[in-house]
Amino acid sequence: MKFLNEVSSTFPSAVSLASGRPSERFFDKLDPQVLLNALVVYERYSAGGHGGGQLLSHLLQYGRTAGIIGELVAQQVRSDEGVPARADRILITSGCQEALALCLPALCPEAADVLLVCNPTYIGATGAAKAARVAVTALCNSVPCVAEAVELAVLQLRQSGRRARALYLIPDFDNPTGRVLDKASRCDILQVCARNRIIVLEDNPYRLFRYEGDEIPPMAALDEVGSVIYLSTFSKTLSPALRVGAATLPDTIFGDARACRALWENLVQRKSFVSLNTSHITQAIVAGLLIEQAASLRGWIRPALDWYRANRDVMLRQLDSVFSPFPEQIRWNRPSGGFFLSLDLPFRFGADSVDECARCDNVIVMPMSFFALDNSQDCRIRLAFSAVTPEQIRTSVTGLGRYVARRLGRELPSLVDGLAEG
């Protein structure tokens, strides 16, 4: 990320398709009046608990490590995400990132314990594992499905005296690939994990951003044995600056309610040493907004959803036009939601390519190798369409086309003339 920030500041006029931020155009829904009002709404709601006048001192004080808005977050996770959440199984965290940083060492406490991840995967998860000295094994991409890859990894690890303890997954509109796991795959993975007592860490920041097609139940809703910890966040739906997310534990861990309680207490204790508690002020803002939205953010995010869908469509149309001269060589997926798609190139695209692309073609893209645990992703890039305008998408994809044509020793004849109006 530091590298990409440096590229952005060196080439300020280059359009960034590298950033998976939410669009800032919807932040004015959270102007100071709205934020203040949300605090007041939360004050009224919680007046019974604290006695009206004491609320401000309560909000400005240190507080409960597990959070003060568990009941409302449980309602939102149930109604929006379909996960059977209960307030006493929720830990409010400083963004989903903190939930990862707490869960990984709690689930993999021994030196022989291993976290399984897809390859590529969200760099924040592998980075958190590294920071906590948790060993990571990438699932093999050459077996047909994730469940088989988990089975294979379990066997291989066992042979070397190690043990797969947790599996990190982003089943809906994966960051970085945009992939969605279908229901059958989710069920198969759950079965393999249950057999091997592997906890699934289901990270789902993009789930509500589905642009078409039927929703697939989250793995936490399909889980029948108590094997899924569900991570959610308000970063993409409301604002990342709030730094409010949550880890929702199941009722039992593999049928054991005491083990689940012990894990929850372990996470709370870890959080008390990391951040004491998540800011009461931002928790109260989230709570006030949830109260006003009847515990569902689906209505709140609708304008953003329409915007992201339109951006996705512009990007797909522009890719179709720009890369039509290279039908066999350049391929990409067509995600039905989320912020990202992935594009396969017939050459390596690394840090040096990012630099050249930004300098000569005014576009910054993310090499997939930045999310990879080996060199299998060297010829792919991630394109994000969330934080740019349609016009920026058109010009930047055209710039990318120019770069690719140059690398392939080809011309883009009608390309540059014919595309911009699309």
Q: List residues near ligand PLP by CB under 6 A.
A: 20, 95-97, 122, 124, 170, 175, 203, 205, 233, 235, 240, 245
Write down the least CB distance from residue 122 to ligand PLP, Å. 4
Nearer to ligand PLP, 146 or 322 (CB): 146
192-195, long-range: CB < 8 A, 24+ apart: 192/147, 192/150, 192/151, 192/154, 193/150, 193/167, 193/227, 194/225, 194/227, 194/254
Amino acid at 1: M
* Smallest distance from ligand PLP to CB 233, Å: 3
| Identity of the residue, 240 or 390, whose beta carbon is nearer to ligand PLP in the bound complex | 240
Residues in the chain, overall count:
422
Cβ 384 vs Cβ 339: under 8 Å: yes
Residue closer to ligand PLP (CB basis): 20 or 337: 20
Give the residue with the Cβ less far from ligand PLP, 235 or 282.
235
C-alpha span between 74 and 246 (Å, rounded): 9
∠ at Cα 75 (20, 35), nearest 5°? 60
78: CB partners within 8 A, 6+ apart: 84, 85
Q: How far is the CB of 2 from ligand PLP (least distance, A)?
A: 16
397/61 Cα distance (integer angstroms): 49
- Beta partners for residue 417, in sequence order: none
Min dist. Cβ of residue 178 to ligand PLP (A) = 12
Closer to ligand PLP by Cβ: residue 98 or 188: 98
Shortest distance in whole angstroms from residue 324 CB to ligand PLP: 31
Q: Which is nearer to ligand PLP, 101 or 106 (CB)?
A: 101
Looking at beta carbons, which residue is closest to ligand PLP? Answer: 95
Shortest distance in whole angstroms from residue 175 CB to ligand PLP: 4
Of 303, 307, 308, 322, nearest to 422 (Cα)?
322
Between residues 7 and 169, which has the closer beta carbon with respect to ligand PLP? 169
Minimum CB separation from ligand PLP for residue 240, in Å?
Answer: 5
User: To 10 degrees, what angle do helices 302-322 and 390-407 make?
Assistant: 30
Strand arrangement, sheet containing 245-248: 90-93, 245-248, 228-233, 199-203, 163-169, 113-117, 135-138
